[in-house]
Amino acid sequence: MGENEAAGPGGFFTLRTTAPVPDGGHLTLARLYAGQDAPLTARIDTVAERLGTSERRVAASVAHLGLAARLWSTALGQAALTGGFPALRAEDLHWDPRLSAPDDLWLDGGAMLPGSASRIRDAVQCGHLEPLCAAIRRDTPVPVRLLWGNAGSALAGAVRQLVVWARTHRRPDVAARTRALAAELFDHADLRGTGAPHGPGFRRRTCCLYYRVPGGGLCGDCVFDEAPRRPPGRPGPD
């Protein structure tokens, strides 16, 4: 939803559509995907510091999960509410790694697209998540399977929040569109095996590694029932 959309769930679903201050740190995601890696490196550094972890792959995973959630949410939320969503072209979508939602993303114009699952997949999965995966791995060798698990978890999280919002605001039409879109989006080789069921009760089949953060514990959709025990200095499972 645009930043002035009062009827939507807000937060991760909000997309800034007015230009930020001129001296801000926004850059197009196209530049990041093309190899301008310094902002992503800085973001991972910041996440590592905030989490208090020395394991870079943990910070890289958490940073990736947050941006994946923003990208899915800005498309899926508007499509479920209005039947359309912004094109989210990488050359029009600006990101400031220093900021949190909803100020981290800024869309500079761009067309509206029909809110079909195929259009959302093209815009988000193909247009962003695939090159974002490559960018993350240029910084840190995080397993591809883990990153797609993050993508599935982020999509399921957006579905869960939209369904809760729809129930609270008595919008069964929004809940129905959300579930239908999610079912189609998950029906893809990269996402189908990331977890199940493909909806609000999603449980992932890989771990985002958050349990390795000091005091981190398990996420709500974690593959584990309890945090694995590991010898000191040994990496945990992916």
Q: Where are the alpha helices (DSSP H) in 96-186?
A: 117-120, 130-139, 144-168, 172-186
Instruction: Report pLDDT for 227.
Output: 81
Question: Residue 222 above 80 pLDDT?
Answer: yes
The pair phi, psi for residue 139, each rounded to 5°, is -85, -45
- Measure the CA–CA gap between 238 and 173, rounded to whole angstroms: 37
- Average pLDDT along the chain: 90
- Adjacent-strand bridge partners of 113: 85
- Measure the CA–CA gap between 192 and 197, rounded to whole angstroms: 10
- Adjacent-strand bridge partners of 2: 15
* 127 contacts: CB under 8 Å, gap ≥ 6: 88, 89, 90
Predicted TM-score (pTM) above 0.85: yes
pLDDT tens digits for range 148-193: 999 999 999 999 999 999 999 999 999 999 999 999 999 999 999 9
